[in-house]
Amino acid sequence: MLSSTGNLVVAIFSPCRLAVAICLTVLILGGIGVAIWALVTYLSKPEDIGLYEVQMSSADRRLRVFDSTQSRWRHVCSSSADQLVASISCEEMGFVRMMNYSRIPISNDHDVFCVKDNELIHGKKIITSLYPCECETGEIIAVTCQECGRRSLTEERIVGGVDARQGRWPWQVSLQYDGVHQCGGSIISDRWIVTAAHCFPERYRHVARWRVMLGSIYNTPTHKNVVSAEVQTVVYHSSYLPFVDPSIDDNSRDIAVLALVTPLQFTDFIQPVCLPVHGQRLVDGQMGTVTGWGNTGYYGTLANILQEATVPIISDVACNAPDYYDNQITTSMFCAGLEKGGIDACQGDSGGPFVSEDCLSKTSRYRLHGVVSWGTGCAMAKKPGVYTKVSRFLPWISAAMRTYDTTPGVHKMSRT
């Protein structure tokens, strides 16, 4: 019995079996370790905050920036650069203008960022100039930005579109030359309008002959609520190639801004739209609304009442397919429309807005993602509208407004 039992023990714990048992144990423990690591990684990864990483407190306008490395919000310590910090932060959030700023005493429970003053640059994310610190000044920054992207009213031709209601798209304007509608545009501040570069060929560069009609779903001054504003400055992108060589078939960088002679008084019918937040990307299939007074058919006439149509964004890959636009869509453009056609922007809608709504700034706001640029025909199958991608030109828009704020006339400005 002893002899056979001893043989059995030897057989069970033979070197080969022992090695296999050790390997299995290591694998099991390793699997458990991987599972624990994955769980810890998931739990410790930065919070998906669902908001843009720069925010203002709705209660007291305190500026907050999200620290992704620590997964927490931090306030910004006051310094000699407060005005620039406030201005850059408002721009980054898509608000265009900083109205004012102030300093608030810090509480003991506040996490804080300090500012590297010499690294602050318009068009550069504010987080790149911040670092966690102890706030020696004992004060943090509060900021008030210009309101945008919201309708004041509680209520609310694009081909295939419908009549818009009064006050529904209060940033929409009509750009008129010698009293004739030429293009649409979007209010982004009390003085500045965003539109398309191609609205300003050589024959349309006499600033005094331009007027901006706004405040109404009608684009003629005889209707109620219509406001007529004089234009002081036009700045278009100097790399819009058709102006360089008319034979060039590339409509990239089709963007321009206008400054008005007199600042606007915002009303229920006149409001600015927000710009995209810095780094905001468009999503394929995302719905947006295009508005304008353009032709209601390829051979039609201009619409009497502002038209609106909601269409999905089409991926660049699909829109560059041979039966669509055959590689004519560049990184500064995007397409939006239906494969079967039927709904689209058309002649006269150029320069007008393509907007969509989000809650990146806590409150639901409309942002100007596109400027009506070009397309083949109107509302044709597989020939959707093509829009200038506004997010690609945020530094350009900012630089144009700062550079030509007090400089009348027509100017061209290159990329920044």
Q: Tell me the range of 2-6, 318-322, 358-362, 376-380 where mean pLDDT is highest.
A: 318-322
Task: Say if 24 falls within a structural domain.
Answer: no
Residue 160, pLDDT score: 55
Task: Say if 62 falls within a structural domain.
Answer: yes
Q: Are residues 312 and 254 in the same domain?
A: yes
Mean pLDDT value of segment 163-187: 92
End-to-end CA distance of the chain: 92
Task: Say if 240 falls within a structural domain.
Answer: yes
Task: Say if 95 falls within a structural domain.
Answer: yes
Pairing assessment for the beta strands 63-67 and 72-76 based on DSSP bridges: antiparallel
Residue 37, pLDDT score: 44
350: annotated active-site residue: yes
Kindly report, residue by residue over 36-45, the tens digit of the pLDDT.
444 434 333 3
315 pLDDT band (50/70/90 cuts)?
very high
Kindly report, residue by residue over 9-28, the tens digit of the pLDDT.
344 445 445 444 554 554 45
Residue 1 scores a pLDDT above 50 = no
Q: Are residues 188 and 134 in the same domain?
A: no
The answer to which of 1-15, 63-77, 97-111 has the lowest mean pLDDT is 1-15
Residue 344, pLDDT score: 54
Q: Are residues 185 and 138 in the same domain?
A: no
Q: Are residues 97 and 230 in the same domain?
A: no
Cα-based distances in Å from 91 to 124, 242, 309, 390 = 10, 30, 28, 14
Mean pLDDT value of segment 185-194: 98
Q: Are residues 129 and 254 in the same domain?
A: no
Which of 89, 113, 145 represents a domain boundary (last residue)? 145
Q: Are residues 91 and 205 in the same domain?
A: no
Task: Say if 327 falls within a structural domain.
Answer: yes
170 pLDDT band (50/70/90 cuts)?
very high
Residue 39, pLDDT score: 40
Q: Which of 67, 82, 254, 349 is an active site residue?
A: 254
Q: Which residue has the higher pLDDT, 101 or 24?
A: 101
Q: Which helix (H) or strand (E) element contains residue 86?
A: helix 82-92
Residue 129 scores a pLDDT above 90 = yes
Share of the chain above pLDDT 90, in %: 67
Q: Which of 67, 75, 181, 198 is an active site residue?
A: 198
Q: Which helix (H) or strand (E) element contains residue 137?
A: none
Q: Are residues 128 and 172 in the same domain?
A: no
Q: Return the SS3 of 69.
A: coil
Amino acid letter for position 305: I
Task: Say if 281 falls within a structural domain.
Answer: yes
Residue closest to 290 by CA, chosen among 196, 175, 369, 177: 369
Cα-based distances in Å from 90 to 11, 97, 221, 377 = 77, 6, 34, 39
Contact 356/413 with Cβ under 8 angstroms? Answer: no
Residue closest to 380 by CA, chosen among 326, 331, 330, 323: 323
Amino acid letter for position 367: R
Q: Return the SS3 of 244.
A: helix
Q: Are residues 342 and 212 in the same domain?
A: yes
Which of 112, 145, 178 represents a domain boundary (last residue)? 145
CATH number at 260 reads 2.40.10.10
Residue closest to 123 by CA, chosen among 259, 233, 251, 279: 279
Domain that holds residue 369: 162-413
Average pLDDT of the residues of the chain: 85
Q: Which helix (H) or strand (E) element contains residue 335?
A: strand 333-336
Mean pLDDT value of segment 230-244: 96
Q: Are residues 102 and 214 in the same domain?
A: no
Q: Tell me the range of 56-65, 120-129, 253-262, 295-304 where mean pLDDT is highest.
A: 253-262
254: annotated active-site residue: yes
Q: Which residue has the higher pLDDT, 360 or 223?
A: 360
Mean pLDDT value of segment 223-248: 91
Q: Which of 332, 350, 373, 391 is an active site residue?
A: 350
Q: What is the DSSP string of 259-276?
A: EESS-----SS--PPBPP
Length of the chain: 416
Place of tokens 């306030």: 75
198: annotated active-site residue: yes
Residue 348, pLDDT score: 61
Which of 89, 119, 145 represents a domain boundary (last residue)? 145
Q: Are residues 336 and 223 in the same domain?
A: yes
Share of the chain above pLDDT 70, in %: 82
Q: Are residues 135 and 261 in the same domain?
A: no
Mean pLDDT value of segment 295-304: 69
Task: Say if 8 falls within a structural domain.
Answer: no
Residue 161, pLDDT score: 55
Mean pLDDT value of segment 275-300: 86
Q: Are residues 83 and 167 in the same domain?
A: no
Task: Say if 397 falls within a structural domain.
Answer: yes
Mean pLDDT value of segment 46-72: 84
Residue 332 scores a pLDDT above 50 = yes
Integer Cα distance of 278 and 312 in angstroms? 22
Q: How many domains does the chain have?
A: 2
The answer to which of 65-74, 135-144, 243-252, 335-344 has the lowest mean pLDDT is 335-344
User: Rg of the Cα trace of the chain?
Assistant: 28
CATH number at 77 reads 3.10.250.10
Residue closest to 149 by CA, chosen among 307, 7, 289: 289
